[in-house]
Amino acid sequence: MTLHCNAGTTYVTKKGDLKGYRTIWYHPDGIADILSLNNVKKKYKVMFDSELDDGSIVQKGNGSQCVFEPSKKGLYYSRMTNDISTTLVTMVDRVKNKYSFRQYSNARKACLLQSTIGRPSTKDLIRYVEGNMIPNCNIIRDDIVCTDDIFGPNLGSLKGKMTRRPTIHVCTSWTSVPQEIIEKYGKVTLAVDIMAINEIPFMIMTSRNIHFSTAKLIHNKTKNTLITSIAQVA
């Protein structure tokens, strides 16, 4: 296939199967694979409303959604990498599937509003909206609630406002070991090995059956040092 673009002309000789879509032309040195909207809409439902959100959503066969957002130069794209950011987007997609396209778009507007006015808490933001304290605000309480459910709490509003809560005092009391445990695990067998971390040796010991593991710093690997370390653990 001969491909013409603003960068010039190139020849594409390879094809590949895009999972869940169809066979497409592929150029190994290309920065992106272009999908035909006309072909995509034949297989999946495509939703786009510029008044609600600046992006198009493709409803895939398994119920999940693929969002195409505009780049700085205006080309709509969707990242297909398998990095951690993609995993996080997938988790958001699973939650937002519970809501309509309009509810999700309003939730994004509420998230943007919360960040714009100084990241107040969700409780304060609801109070501002219901008290008409924000001029020309088209966000309602339900949009803010959806925002917390889809995107989680706003991290900026949590920083510096969370206080450490006192923990419950742990009361320790020693009791005698039951006789049946002593009879069964009275004789402990240790599996011992030496592991180095940044060339610093440690003696690693794990007891069989109980599976209690210990690590002890050692200064050398002489016989006396190893015997002393085992005795201290035992």
Note the pLDDT tens digit of each residue in 187-214.
888 899 999 988 899 999 998 877 888 9
What is the token pair recorded at 144?
């803010």
Cα–Cα distance measured from residue 16 to residue 210, given in angstroms and rounded to the nearest whole number? 53
Q: For the residues 18-43, what does the mean pLDDT come to?
A: 75
Query: What is the pTM for the complete model shown?
Result: 0.34
pLDDT at 113 over 70: yes
- Closest C-alpha among 185, 218, 181, 213 to residue 199: 218
Q: What is the reported pLDDT for 84?
A: 39
Q: What is the reported pLDDT for 33?
A: 65
What is the token pair recorded at 211?
């599976």
Q: What is the reported pLDDT for 53?
A: 61
Contact between residue 72 and residue 101 where contact means Cβ atoms under 8 Å apart: no
pLDDT tens-digit series, residues 121-158: 888 899 999 998 998 888 899 999 888 888 888 777 77
Q: What is the reported pLDDT for 167?
A: 81
Cα–Cα distance measured from residue 149 to residue 143, given in angstroms and rounded to the nearest whole number? 10
Burial class (CB in 10 A: 0-12, 13-18, 19+), 92: middle
Q: How far is CA 200 from the centre of its chain?
A: 34
Cα–Cα distance measured from residue 189 to residue 212, given in angstroms and rounded to the nearest whole number? 11
Q: Which residues contact 51 (CB under 8 A, 6 or more apart)?
A: none
- How many beta carbons lie within 10 A of that of residue 120, not counting itself? 18
The structural domains of the chain, with segments of one domain joined by +, span 1-34, 44-96, 98-159, 185-233
